[in-house]
Structure 1
């Protein structure tokens, strides 16, 4: 009888130890941002910057003030990221690809708080910049967690991250520099 108790205790201890190790791997202090490859990322960033600039010029030519035009560009880009994730999620669920669907559901939850602040604070470029930055950090953090749990890379995360990074740079250009 004591041998069975010892075996049970050892099995429970090893399960608890394995759970503790997994939790330590997922701890936020272990999160490292990954850098994408230079030339492809630079080309994508330039393409997005040009697109945002053209959209901004179109909005200002229609009579929208500078700040409102910038936040409207941010709102449009955030909506496109959201719609892209949602469309891919519907596609993967319909096809029965559960892993892809789960990854996209996490991505959607990462950026769900982005659109409403951009609408509520139209014209406040500083607030829009903080909202985009927060959504990007959440997306990167949750993408890192998913990658550590399942070494599976979904390109939707990197595409959305590139879009949000370019949007951050676009919004930062209009902010006055602190002296």
Structure 2
């Protein structure tokens, strides 16, 4: 517990020891949660999730100092396990959506795509002209990369205030695109 307290206080050497000691335990939890999904989530993903879980634990301990009171690790490890376990299903869903999208595109016969390459390029260029940087970012991540709004907040917390901000940006962008005559001509000729 003393090692965790020192790590949470910002001591870098303590963090190295925490990672060395507890990362194998976190990996075992994550592998159990991952189960047979190893084709979607590899060990590099698990490393990222493990580090994110430790950072969430640190943030939680800084917000609630009473969580580091006492000398047993039970409460702290329970929180760490919870944080680590929540990210694997989210990562799996995101990868599964991306895989489904790529499967549909790969399975489509040649020439049967809704938009030909020239139209897609024109559409992408027009989106860059019409949408703001944040709107383009949100539209690309939601509709082309398979993210959910909460995934965007989780992966880019410094970029957006909260999830409502993402919903508002999406709504404004979609309204603008529905009313844009160039988009209507490109998508619905």
- Structure-1-length-normalised TM-score: 0.29
- Structure-2-length-normalised TM-score: 0.28
Q: RCO greater where, 1 or 2, for CA within 8 Å and sep 6 or more? A: 1
